[in-house]
Amino acid sequence: MDAACPCGSGGNYGDCCQRYHTHQATASTAEQLMRSRYCAFVVGDNRYLRDSWHPDFRPQDPLISDDTPWLGLRILAAPAPQADAATVEFVAFYRQQGRVAQLHERSRFIRMDGRWYYTEGDQLPAIKLARNDRCCCGSGRKQKHCHAEC
Q: Residue 63: is its pLDDT beyond 90?
A: no
Per-residue burial over 105-138, b = 16 or more CB atoms within 10 Å of its CB, e = otherwise? bebbbbbeeeebbbeebeeeeeeebeeeeebbbb
Q: Residue 148: is its pLDDT beyond 70?
A: no
Amino acid sitting at position 91: V
- 1, part of any domain: no
| Percent share of the chain, pLDDT over 70 | 93
- 5, part of any domain: no
- Among 10-14, 34-38, 136-140, which range has the highest average pLDDT? 34-38
Record the pTM: 0.89
What does each C-alpha distance from 45 to 42, 49, 133, 137, 149 come to in angstroms?
Answer: 8, 7, 30, 20, 28
What pLDDT sits at residue 90?
Answer: 97
Q: Average per-residue pLDDT in the chain?
A: 89
- 150, part of any domain: no
Q: What is the rounded end-to-end Cα distance, in angstroms, of the chain? A: 29
The answer to whether the CB of 116 falls within 8 A of the CB of 109 is yes
For residue 19, the domain's CATH number is 3.10.450.50
- The DSSP code sequence of 27-63 is -SSHHHHHHHHHHHHHHT-HHHHHHTB-TTT--SS--
- 127, part of any domain: yes
Q: Which domain holds residue 87?
A: 13-145
| Percent share of the chain, pLDDT over 90 | 63
Helix/strand/coil for 21: helix
Q: Classify 114 in phi/psi space as left (phi over 0), alpha (psi -120 to 50) or beta.
A: left
Rounded to 10 degrees, the C-alpha dihedral 143/78/69/59 comes to -150
What pLDDT sits at residue 131?
Answer: 72
Amino acid sitting at position 96: Q
Q: Residue 73: is its pLDDT beyond 70?
A: yes
- 6, part of any domain: no
The answer to whether the CB of 54 falls within 8 A of the CB of 110 is yes
Q: Residue 128: which pLDDT band, with cuts at 50, 70 and 90?
A: confident
Q: Which residue has the higher pLDDT, 96 or 36?
A: 36
What pLDDT sits at residue 99?
Answer: 82
Q: Residue 2: which pLDDT band, with cuts at 50, 70 and 90?
A: confident
- 120, part of any domain: yes
What pLDDT sits at residue 38?
Answer: 96
Q: Structural domain tally of the chain?
A: 1
- 2, part of any domain: no
